[in-house]
Structure 1
Amino acid sequence: MTEPIEQRIAKAMAELESVKAAVARAEEQLADAGATVRSRDRSVEVTVGSRGELTGLKFLDGKYRSMNPAQLSASVLEAAERGRAQMARQVMDLFDPLTRPSTATPELRGMTVDWERIYGSALLDEAEGEPVRRPGDRLRDEIHEDAEDGHRGRSRS
């Protein structure tokens, strides 16, 4: 027997209120969030806010005195990018549960967030310089490749 529409609507409304509260909690957590990262050469420490903004910069152990301007700026930029990447991952992890489909209400399919559009270069993996992989990326990549190859919906054989 199917559930009456009134009950389904009530469930969906309750779930939407729950999601709304979860978003508010996540935003509250992010209000004071930050990532503090040191450059690989340990000459610079930066703090990055939840929106990727640089909120702190420290030169460590006087190492900057022996660096030329290009080296120092490279260290600052490298630390800032690593901090932005770390903060982007924190934000994505925090909001990930909100992007998933509802198990209780099939009509609520979850939301799609274009993290790359939001964070751009901040989504580079620290060690490899490769894009950070998220669940579902492989499928999106295959769909994108099919569209580029002109296969739009046809299987490859």
Structure 2
Amino acid sequence: MSSPLFNEMEAAMAELRAQQAKIRDAQEQTQKETTSATSKDRMITVTVDHQQRLTAVRFDGTRYRSLAPAELANRIVELVREAQEDAAGKALAMFAQLAPTGFGSDIADVMGGDFDLDRMFDEAVRQASEMDDPLPDARKGGAGHG
């Protein structure tokens, strides 16, 4: 006969494996993604890969030749930035669906490289402590207690 704790552990492991598979699928899908941005006049199109690296620049027609070099360069830079932001947004949306409940906007920090692992664990410990101690303020002599 299995203990309730063993059954809970098995269920948690199965859930963890299922989540791992979803994350792996999402990673594979994002690696195949490309994002393009096209100028309003349809003269220039740029494409970035899943890591937001520029992979292609395409010019339609010859009108771009009439632009001053600085103007052409600025348009390309703006389009690359736009494509990179779109690519980041796609990845963020995909991985936000997989984030644990309560993770909230922290997924943007993870994707942007500003993730604070220590802060995340400290917050998890704090929340777990609150669950174990339902009246922390009263026991600690919160405000108004002498």
TM-score (norm 1): 0.63
Please state whether the residue corresponding to 1:98 is helix, strand or coil: coil
Amino acid at match of 1:95: F
Give the share of equivalent positions with the same residue, in percent: 27
For the structure 1 residues 43 and 118, does the alpha-carbon distance in structure 2 shift closer, same or farther, using more than 3 Å as the test? Answer: farther
**2:46–2:80 contact (8 Å) kept in structure 1:** yes
Over alpha carbons, which structure has the higher Rg? Answer: 2
Alignment of 1:45-64 (within 5 A): 45-64=45-64
Structure with the bigger percentage of helix: 2
Name structure 1 gaps, 5 residues minimum: 102-108, 120-157
For the pair 1:4 / 2:10, whether they are aligned, the reply is no
Cα distance in 1, alignment partners of residues 78 and 15 from structure 2: 42
Cα distance in 2, alignment partners of residues 95 and 116 from structure 1: 9
How many matched pairs?
Answer: 110
For the structure 1 residues 99 and 27, does the alpha-carbon distance in structure 2 shift closer, same or farther, using more than 3 Å as the test? Answer: same
Alignment of 1:5-154 (within 5 A): 5-101=5-101, 112-113=106-107, 114-115=109-110, 117-118=112-113
Cα distance in 2, alignment partners of residues 98 and 21 from structure 1: 11
**1:36–1:45 contact (8 Å) kept in structure 2:** yes
What CA RMSD, in Å, does the superposition of the two structures yield over aligned residues?
2.2
Amino acid at match of 1:91: A
Structure 1 ranges of 4+ moved more than 6 A: none
Quote the offset at 1:117 in angstroms: 2.7
Cα distance in 2, alignment partners of residues 25 and 75 from structure 1: 35
Cα distance in 2, alignment partners of residues 75 and 7 from structure 1: 59
TM-score (norm 2): 0.67
